[in-house]
Amino acid sequence: MEKITQRNVLEKWANQYPEIKRWLSHLQQKNMNAFSLYRFCEWCKLTPTQLLDVKKKNPSAGTVEKILDDFCNMNDKRFTNSFQYQTSIAVKSFFRWNYTDLAKASGAVTLEKKKPYNALNKEGLRKLWSHARNLRDRALVPFVLSTAVAKETLSRLQWKDLEENWENIDLPCLNISSEKLKGHGVGRYRGVRQVSFLSGEAKRALIDYKEWCEKRLGRKVRPEDNIWLDNIAPYKPLEYDSFSTLILRLSKEAGVKFTWHDARRWVTTCLESVGISPNWNRVLRGRKVAGSENPYSRPAIDQLRAKFREAIPTLEFTTETHAVSREVEERLKALEEFKSALTPEQLEKARRAGVQLRKQVGQPDKEEKYANCEDGTHCQRVVSESDLTTYLQTGWKVICALPSGKVVIER
């Protein structure tokens, strides 16, 4: 008989039990949960049907609860602490969806964390991103490292979850309904939404990926289309387990330890660095918010976007940036103040006489020009994100991103 594994457990074991089919129809992670229940049944030498019968014949006896407690409390090298923890959740879920709930106190397991969290840094993330084989993966990595979307939600995302006209919006909003989040909008999760934003680098990569999708599909993407698709025809929506396989391969090839949950920790840390409130952080991660009347209103979303903008220099990683000196910051500030004081006519005249304008705000004389500088001044400018691509195509490079959302570039 073929050995039953997590990969074949549905076909070789689970599908013969109607009770398991009923249970798994409510779950996203079918293989993992079915395999946990299979190993529990093998250990206690009872089938899923027999387990349910034991509970139904004498609900108050606590027989099944005691069996589960014995499994969770034993010291058996065949079962790790994390597997006992996962199995306890799976068994109690199996009984709940067959309408014979086990006592809440049963199957208590203290999860022991043995490995430290992956230490993420921009250099490692750039390396991970650079190993992405295709436009989908090159869009997916900065997407999760900007939005903190969980793996389960990734498989459910649709283009309509993005803000209308998102391609032309600075830091477009991603507004996800509770049905696509943890808990699927049931019980205490009812009404929860995730409101997050795309950084500039995440938006640019997603635009490239969207164009790829449209070429492969032979049509414009529709609002109800899933965002993340297989890379081969017929381009079906990427399933939950595929996201695990994808990031495992990418992490191994890049030599960078990374999980989708690491992305959520990255976003949380970056937002905390700019002093975001715990409640707003929970909204951005799609968690229930306490004591907040309307965290999803348009004014609240705009406030979130403004706070998110402050974290952009810390959050983005695909382009290596450097800090500018205080002297340069002061010159840039003086230039912005000077330009804002001019009328449109004066500003246009000043553009045509660019050298004189820069000289007024303290830029070097022509004699001090850099050897590769065509206009006789230090070629460093502040530009908006929408203009950045044009400059990069003509030989400019990014120096740093400013808190205002604009970018310092240099020829």
Ordered mean pLDDT values, 10 residues apiece, the chain (411 residues) = 86 93 86 92 94 90 90 87 89 93 87 62 90 92 91 90 91 85 64 84 94 93 93 88 88 90 87 76 64 55 85 85 52 60 62 45 40 52 71 72 70 72
* Distances, alpha carbon 227 to alpha carbons 51, 162, 214, 276, in Å: 41, 10, 11, 29
* Distances, alpha carbon 248 to alpha carbons 202, 258, 267, in Å: 21, 8, 20
* Distances, alpha carbon 120 to alpha carbons 40, 94, 333, in Å: 36, 37, 33
Name the pairing type of β-strands 407-410 and 380-383.
antiparallel
Main-chain phi, psi angles of 174, to 5 degrees: -115, 115
CA nearest to 378, candidates 359, 361, 363, 397: 363
Report yes or no: 58 and 64 within 8 Å, Cβ to Cβ. Answer: no
How far is Cα 105 from Cα 4, in angstroms, rounded to an integer? 31
Q: What's the pTM?
A: 0.58
Cβ-in-10-Å burial (0-12, 13-18, 19+) of 142 comes to: buried
How far is Cα 1 from Cα 42, in angstroms, rounded to an integer? 15
Q: DSSP alpha helices (H): ranges in 1-47? A: 9-12, 18-24, 30-44
How far is Cα 35 from Cα 295, in angstroms, rounded to an integer? 39
Which CATH number is associated with domain 122-315? 1.10.443.10
The C-alpha angle with vertex 38 and arms to 36 and 39, in degrees rounded to 5, equals 70
DSSP 226: B
pLDDT at 322: 47
pLDDT at 346: 61
Report yes or no: 352 and 374 within 8 Å, Cβ to Cβ. Answer: no
Block residue for tokens 């090159």: 138
pLDDT at 133: 85
The C-alpha angle with vertex 198 and arms to 197 and 202, in degrees rounded to 5, equals 160
pLDDT at 383: 78
Block residue for tokens 């996203």: 28
Q: Where in the chain is the domain with CATH 1.10.443.10?
A: 122-315
Q: Is 401 helix (H, G, I), strand (E, B) or coil?
A: strand
Cβ-in-10-Å burial (0-12, 13-18, 19+) of 12 comes to: middle
* Distances, alpha carbon 356 to alpha carbons 76, 249, 363, 408, in Å: 80, 55, 9, 21
Q: DSSP alpha helices (H): ranges in 155-221? A: 200-217
Block residue for tokens 């965290």: 295
DSSP 185: T
How far is Cα 375 from Cα 142, in angstroms, rounded to an integer? 36
C-alpha 217: how far from chain center? 25
Residue type, 236: K
